[in-house]
Amino acid sequence: MEITEDNGDTVRLNSFISLDKTRPFWQRSAASSSRRRSTPPVSTKSPGRLPVKPSKRKPENPFYEPAYVESCLVQLCRAGKWEDVLQRCQEHPEEASLVPLFRVKEKNAGMHDPVEERFHRHPLQRMSKSSGQSLENTELFRETPLGIVCASEDIGKSYVSRVIKALIEANPRQVGASQLLPGHTALRDACLNDFCPVEILEILLEACSMYSNNDQAFRLRDQGGVSCLEHLIAAVQLGLSSEPLEKVKVYIKMRPIEHWKSADDNSPLIFLLTTGNSFNGGDVSFATQSSLPQLNGRLERVLELTKLLLDDDPGLLSSCSKVSGCSPMHAALRNYGTYEPLIQELINRGTRHQLMDCRNMYGDLPLHVACSVGVPMKVLLLVLGETAKISLHMRYAGMPPTVNPLIWSTNNSGYTPIDLEWVRVIESGSDFLSARTFYPLEATGVRRHCFKQDDYYKDLLRKAVNQVMQNSAHRIGSEAREEDARSIFGSSIDRISLLIKAASYFGDSGAYPDTSVPVSLADVCKLCRVYTPSLPLPLLDLFLWLRSEDILETDSSGNIPLHHVFSGNNVPRGCSIARNSNLLMDWQAFVVRLIDKYPSQAKIRSGSERLPLHLILDRSVDFSGELAVGRHKIVERLVEIFPDSVELLDPVTGLYPFMMAANDPNLSLDTVFLLLRHAPSQCLPNKT
């Protein structure tokens, strides 16, 4: 094209208006847009006007979107004209190509050289960098025709399957390409589409398996950190889609094995047992007769999916959460603790050490979680039985603790299962559905160790125990007193009694004792410890009041409850040593109350023929100097009740009481002087 100016010159404009047909249309639009921005504006400043100082305003955003025109294939997919889509795929398959999503950023204000900037800023992409994955797997693209079809409600219609096959044949990379956001692939859209039939999902999965560029679609996660399999699992829990279990079966069958058991992936079993349980932690009023069928249906679906996942990979039982360290048993007890068949299924599938001897990042065993949420008694018996059987192997391994080392263990905050049980009762009652919210994938709702809060709870516990004792002061007999205590504490008194009996019992069978036999005072006294986890003083007083008839009763080893209080304070595995002055004062106060109930206990010998005075002076129990004052008061009380005990030899050490006291560096000279003052003849030299 030529233009003739007034001066007669001829200007040729072919190079300015010719189209560059060698590049795609979206690149031509971007180039033309950048040229428009790089053209300097025409100056309209009048030379006669004074210069005006420019006003201050925020600088313009250097990022801008280049011009983009959707292809005819994308527009036809949006309109739902599937017959035209089939024809367009055959005539123009190049329109199914992936269009990268990019911005143009100017280097600085003085230079107008445009530079493409790719989107590689998402946290999931940074995580993929650290794990060594290629950045090409998280490259972002515009919406693909296949993604539009997979998100459409027409995906369930019969003729749409031909459209999907045609689009995959035109460009197979559409299946695993991220659209606009990382992990938002066509496969994800199909998994989220409730109208997607199993046949369509099978076609997409087959395309992912056949083409190497699409295999990362099995592992890609969206902005919420959820994979395609986890979206299918959520659909099974909620029962939203048709044939949800069949979709999971197809996914498991067709996924590449190397992407399924990777150490970088989260366990699908943890996701199943952790999420999708919106009914827990809410209002109890929902549990009406109309909602029970839906609830039972959800629990049955979760059980079936658990069996399906474990049949395919039994190693999922040992895979814990990467955030909280919770095992499948932790998550199942917290979110589905009312459903006994699910807990029984996990127990049947795994080993005891694999399930019950696993601690999360908060130091909780599954037993801690069961007590924290208040599972039903049947489930609690299951967990207690499996936990107690592990202790049998620990005993044979050379650990001779006097209490069960797992049942009587603390978490990182210093709480035993019994502590979590009575704290839960004070916090929210004894009902499972009103337990506080706890999400194992997060660090929220976990019981923290707060000393001010602990004192508040113990004060409430003390008031409740005092109320029971005052209201039942005239009642005679343990059964009548238990009835009054149950009216205040409810069924929690039975649960606490069961935990006490299981923690104090460490027999050769390795199982918890007969639950039909009520807890004895000797069992309670075994858990009255120093420098190790101990029952709170209000509970000790409560059971001393309930079982006052058992004070002089001997157990199978020939010991009365007072002998157990003075027994060795070995620290079980997993227990943190609690050097707390309040604990020492509680121990001393309970011992004095126990002795004052029946002072004749000071004259009763243990199964090893030792008097209580010998037991309290025995250095092998590892008492520390902080107990010197407390032990002195107890020794003074025992000598006052039974003065002749100071002249009796200890059958184990062969020493007199004053010799045992002098041999203990943690006892003061006042204690030695006290014993010698009551037996001055022992200071005289031996005449023989």
Rounded distance, CA 550 to CA 555, Å? 10
CATH number at residue 137: 1.25.40
Query: For 25-29, 155-159, 377-381, 666-670, which range has the lowest pLDDT when averaged over its residues?
Result: 25-29
**Is residue 347 classed exposed, middle or buried when 0-12, 13-18 and 19+ CB atoms within 10 A define those classes?**
middle
Structural domain contains residue 419: no
Query: What's the pLDDT at 467?
Result: 87
Structural domain contains residue 138: yes
Q: Is residue 400 pLDDT above 50, yes or no?
A: no
Note the Cα 437 to chain centre separation in Å: 11
Query: What's the pLDDT at 137?
Result: 47
Structural domain contains residue 179: yes
Rounded distance, CA 410 to CA 648, Å? 40
Q: How many domains does the chain have?
A: 1
Measure Cα distances from 317 to 261, 270, 313, 326, 350 in Å. Answer: 13, 9, 9, 11, 7
Q: Is residue 173 pLDDT above 50, yes or no?
A: yes
DSSP letters of 567-623?
S-----TTPPP---HHHHHHHHHHHHHHHHH-GGGGG---TTS--HHHHHH-GGG--
Considering the chain, what percentage of its residues have pLDDT values greater than 90?
18
Query: What's the pLDDT at 286?
Result: 39
Q: What is the largest CA-CA distance in the chain?
A: 150
How does pLDDT run across 448-467, given as a tens digit for each residue?
Answer: 444 446 677 788 888 888 88
Rounded distance, CA 370 to CA 587, Å? 28
Query: What's the pLDDT at 149?
Result: 92
Query: What's the pLDDT at 353?
Result: 78
401-427: average pLDDT:
82
Strand-strand pairing, 140-141 and 178-179: parallel
- In the structure, what pLDDT confidence band is assigned to residue 265 with cuts at 50, 70 and 90? low
What are the φ/ψ torsions at residue 311 (nearest 5 degrees)?
Answer: -65, -40
How does pLDDT run across 236-260, given as a tens digit for each residue?
Answer: 888 776 678 889 988 888 876 555 5
Considering the chain, what percentage of its residues have pLDDT values greater than 70?
67
How does pLDDT run across 47-92, given as a tens digit for each residue?
Answer: 444 555 554 444 444 444 556 788 899 999 999 899 999 999 888 8
426-453: average pLDDT:
45
Query: What's the pLDDT at 619?
Result: 67
Q: Which residues of 535-573 are buried (b: 16+ CB within 10 A; e: fewer)?
A: bbbbbbbbbbbbbeebbeeebeeebbbbbbbbbebbbbe
DSSP letters of 79-104?
HT-HHHHHHHHHH-GGGGS--B-EEE
400-404, 540-544, 614-618, range with greatest mean pLDDT = 540-544
From the list 384, 635, 645, the residue with the least C-alpha distance to 496 is 384
Rounded distance, CA 336 to CA 546, Å? 34
338-357: average pLDDT:
88
Note the Cα 39 to chain centre separation in Å: 59
Measure Cα distances from 60 to 3, 57, 119 in Å. Answer: 39, 9, 20
Q: Is the pTM above the cut of 0.85? A: no
Q: In the block, which residue shows the tokens 């100071």?
A: 646
571-600: average pLDDT:
72
Rounded distance, CA 75 to CA 88, Å? 11
What is the distance between the terminal CA atoms of the chain, rounded to a whole angstrom? Answer: 141
Query: What's the pLDDT at 258?
Result: 55
Please, which residues bridge with residue 106 across strands? 114
Rounded distance, CA 611 to CA 638, Å? 10
182-192: average pLDDT:
89
Q: In the block, which residue shows the tokens 């047909």?
A: 21
Rounded distance, CA 216 to CA 121, Å? 19
Question: Residue 76: in which H helix or E strand, if any?
Answer: helix 72-79
Q: Is residue 125 pLDDT above 50, yes or no?
A: no
How does pLDDT run across 468-515, given as a tens digit for each residue?
Answer: 888 877 777 777 888 888 888 888 888 999 999 888 876 544 455 566
Structural domain contains residue 165: yes
Query: What's the pLDDT at 486?
Result: 84
Query: What's the pLDDT at 572?
Result: 43
Q: Is residue 41 pLDDT above 90, yes or no?
A: no
- H-only helix segments in 171-240: 186-192, 198-210, 228-238
Residue predicted with more confidence, 31 or 284: 31
Rounded distance, CA 230 to CA 252, Å? 12
From the list 344, 351, 407, the residue with the least C-alpha distance to 379 is 344
- ∠ CA 374-378-384 to the nearest 5 degrees? 75
Structural domain contains residue 93: yes
Query: For 355-359, 434-438, 595-599, which range has the lowest pLDDT when averaged over its residues?
Result: 434-438
Tokens of 54: 């420019």
How does pLDDT run across 7-29, given as a tens digit for each residue?
Answer: 555 444 444 444 444 455 445 44
Q: What is the average pLDDT score of the chain?
A: 75
Residue predicted with more confidence, 638 or 458: 638
Query: What's the pLDDT at 477?
Result: 72
Structural domain contains residue 682: no
How does pLDDT run across 300-347, given as a tens digit for each residue?
Answer: 889 999 999 999 888 888 888 888 888 999 999 998 988 999 999 999
How does pLDDT run across 557-567, given as a tens digit for each residue?
Answer: 899 999 988 87
Structural domain contains residue 244: yes
Is the CB of residue 605 less than 8 Å from the CB of residue 642?
no
Residue predicted with more confidence, 341 or 116: 341
Q: Is residue 580 pLDDT above 60, yes or no?
A: no
Rounded distance, CA 9 to CA 233, Å? 75
Q: Which residues of 186-207 are buried (b: 16+ CB within 10 A; e: fewer)?
A: bbbbbbbbebbbbebbbbbbeb
Residue 268: which residues within 8 A CB-CB, separation 6 or more?
229, 230, 233, 309, 316
Structural domain contains residue 679: no
- Parent domain of 106: 61-224+236-254
Query: What's the pLDDT at 502?
Result: 87
Q: In the block, which residue shows the tokens 């001779």?
A: 400
200-205: average pLDDT:
90
Residue predicted with more confidence, 278 or 227: 227
